[in-house]
Structure 1
Amino acid sequence: MTEDARILAVDWGATSVKSALVDADGRALSPLKRRRTPHPCPPDTFFDVVRARVEATGARRVGVGFPGEMREGLVVGTGNLAREGGPGTPLIPELVERWRGRDLSCELSELTGADVRVINDAALAALGCGGGYGVELIVTLGTGCGLALMDGGELQPTPDVGTHPSHDGRSFDVALGERARSRDESRWREDVRRALIQWRVAFGVERVYLAGGNGPRLQDRDETWPPGIVIVGNQAALRGAARLFGARTPSTGVG
């Protein structure tokens, strides 16, 4: 395989950044690298981390999952990157504004000389597990939660539900996030089930994929999930980076 055929996949999460080289089918060509997500994280720090991985691997094509909201390729929401110490800590208003409107694909391509494509992290995971079964919903469960919607295998505009209130008034990021799971896993599982029922009706989906670091945890017990719910591994975003270079993606990618 030529070096040009390799793709660097970078999955930027709220607490860790994962990266690996993959082939055109999303198969790993290198061990998975991890590092802690820096907090607070201004754009320059984000660029430096990605550039370092590009330089270390020599990749000419790079797919990046961004843990915030994007519209028309521009950042409109920073997720947890603009928080003082990561999830659950105060936002830094000045840093929110520094992120707003940035064209990450363009800036990173110019900085690295590689073909860099950046979409929302849940959308990247969706590309890695969506199978083209009509309308599909991909739910990423980790530090918080993210959503992506696919119709016929193509990404569709999806609202950023993480900050929306759940049934008990907590945001979905809080109710379905890692802190809630670590405090009371039984309640967390029930809240996940309740949210899935709500979203299946709201989006009219035929299949739901549960991804992210906590997705596989839902297989740990002898538990029956409703038909049409598929639990996938936590490396869907890395596989999605390969498809990012072989499938048409929409101008809107959120989560």
Structure 2
Amino acid sequence: MIMTQEELAQYHRDGYVLVNNLFDREEIDLMIREIEGGERVAGSTYSNDDRSGLKAKLAIWFELGPDMWSAVSTCPRLVNNVSSLLGEDAAFFHGKVMLKEARSGGAWEWHQDYGYWYDQGFIYPNMISVFIALDAATKENGCLQVLRGSHLLGRLEHGKVGGQTGADVNRIRHLQSMFELVHCEMAPGSALFFHSNLLHSSAPNLSDYHRRTFVSCYNATGNPQLQSQGLKHYDRCPVGSDDWLTKF
């Protein structure tokens, strides 16, 4: 599956494109089993407090390996489409599982991913997150919210919002009157490809249903990262198999 010209145009206009049924039920069930019983998520989960004190949980890693999550991040459905959207080869940046558990999952405050990544030294915002729904994502369980087209603002200054890093609350209040607010309700297996400058947030999960997500993030190979010893250049992400499920 390769993005159509219409989808590419939507991405550049709106800052995101939603692809339904990118992964099937069997693939999603395996990812959920890996969350519930696998070592990678259990060994790297931490939490951030939102402004109400609820916990927004996250597991994150920065390397590829022989595990299932790396097989998903390198499958052509992701890598080839990300490269099309970036307009150049994609490099793997990191993977993460977001755990918004029933009746307790905290909110994520309004932010741009590049609001974090600029401070990590990336020169350009030519970076993409692929947000894969593992449970149904609805307004009731705190689905992702975006301000359509807000990536065209460029990078905003970020600071502390509760226990998280977020965009200036007063500026967001005014921007919400200028850009359409979209609730990204998604079925399991759907994926949202979005630009690193797109403003997004999510409400707490006070429902009886989990909202778990796998997010794979990519950098353009032509986008170096400034580090203390100089510029780090990222290699092209390896492209694995779309039949990755058979390996696990």
Q: Which has the higher helix share?
A: 1
Question: Under a length normalisation based on structure 1, what TM-score does the superposition of the two structures give?
Answer: 0.26
